Amino acid sequence: MLISAETEQKFNIMVVEDCDSERCLLSGLLTAMGLNCIGFSAAESAIEYLSDHPIDLVITDWMMPNMNGIEFCKILKRSINSPYTILLTGNGEASQIVEGINSGADDYVAKPFNSAVLKARINAGLRIIEMQSQLAQKNATLNQLLEKEQHYLSVVKQDLALAAQLQQALLPDNGQLNQQWQVTCEFKPAQDLAGDIFQCFNIDEQHIGFYLLDVSGHGTAASMQSFTLAQNLANNRAAWQALDLCTLVNTLNNEFDDPQNSGCFATMVIGIANTVTGAVEYINAGHPAPIIIDPQQAYFVDQTQLKVAAQLPLGIRKNVQYSSSHFYLAQQQHLLLYSDGIYECRHPKHGSFGQPRLLKVINGARTLTPNSLLHHLTHSCDLWQQKQAQDDISLMLISSPSATHNSFVPPLN
């Protein structure tokens, strides 16, 4: 007995044959095979039955009055769930076989048929039906899993969007600081979340604090690490109020946590500026050197002969004692802090953008307003990497006022 393995029900077979004796012969053969069989003498009545009843396989004669087997097959194949169809033909010529298959029949048997051959063709058809049924059920299961996955991804996307808003909220707003100093920012994460985070804020009436840190990698894991570090750098920390930059960085390094031992680390530029005198205390923990921009030229801080050397990134080794350096930011000067995404972006032909090119672009645009300058830099980077974001880009420009109480010039030694 042939039974569907998935449904544990007999297959339903339809016989359409205008000859009563042959229809009875076919029905008896199918019943003996353990199949449910129903017979019709005309295609029209078979079509009416099919509209309300499921049929797995149809055996139809070719030559019938009114509607022949070819026309019947064409109508069957227009239905959504058309049954497997075997066409009985009294003509075994190749042209008729081709016409029958092209009309929609899945197989054919020449009349007078051999019972063993017909059984074999029916069994082959039922195997195909069974495989199609199993495939349909598997597809239905996959579609259910896909719907769940899409719902999950939708929730994750909403969560990422909310997290991105929270990350954006941790960044400074463009605006005025103490003594008419100003901060201007540009932030372009490579993904929804970034491993970069930065801040600039008033500490007291004549001091501002600032930092820009870049956690290795980018995306969710890096952003979570940057959130944690940002909490430890909140402007209400006692070390900020005490203007004790070294203690702040040493503590941050000792508290740096890499629970998965994945080699995570963070580079950082951090400093405190006196907005009255222009003096800046500064620590570079493995970060790209900031750039000073004045009306005459732009240059790296570590090229001012102040021996402002980069130290180990955070998280590399515990109990490292960080030391600070000092320089001055004179009137009409800007201090640019940036992440490596701005200059490590690569062109498919010309390689990385590079710090020398970054400095050249800044020198060519140094007379622009702070907002326009940062937009120009990010636009240059976008063009270089052909608008395919490769890493997070963070830019923070701290500007001294156009005129201060005193005029300062960076010392040369």
Q: Are residues 310 and 221 in the same domain?
A: yes
* Residue 150, in any domain of the structure: no
Q: Are residues 271 and 176 in the same domain?
A: yes
**CB-facing half-sphere around the CA of 363: CA atoms within 13 A:** 11
Which tens digit of pLDDT belongs to each residue from 140-164?
999 999 999 988 888 877 877 776 6
Note whether 324 and 245 are within 8 A (CB): yes
Q: Are residues 206 and 257 in the same domain?
A: yes
Which tens digit of pLDDT belongs to each residue from 341-360?
888 888 888 899 999 999 99
**CB-facing half-sphere around the CA of 355: CA atoms within 13 A:** 14
Q: Are residues 254 and 355 in the same domain?
A: yes
Expressed as residue numbers, the domain containing 74 is: 12-138
Q: Are residues 186 and 279 in the same domain?
A: yes
* Residue 155, in any domain of the structure: no
DSSP β-ladder status, 57-61 and 84-89: parallel
CATH of the domain at 51: 3.40.50.2300
Which tens digit of pLDDT belongs to each residue from 182-193?
999 988 877 766
Q: What is the pLDDT of residue 307?
A: 55
Q: What is the pLDDT of residue 86?
A: 93
The total number of structural domains in the chain stands at 2
Which tens digit of pLDDT belongs to each residue from 25-37?
999 999 999 999 9
Q: What is the pLDDT of residue 25?
A: 92
CA distance 160 to 152: 12
Q: Are residues 117 and 222 in the same domain?
A: no
Which tens digit of pLDDT belongs to each residue from 254-301?
988 876 677 789 999 999 999 999 999 999 999 999 999 998 999 998
Which tens digit of pLDDT belongs to each residue from 264-277?
899 999 999 999 99
* Residue 147, in any domain of the structure: no
DSSP β-ladder status, 107-110 and 175-176: unpaired
Q: Are residues 252 and 380 in the same domain?
A: yes
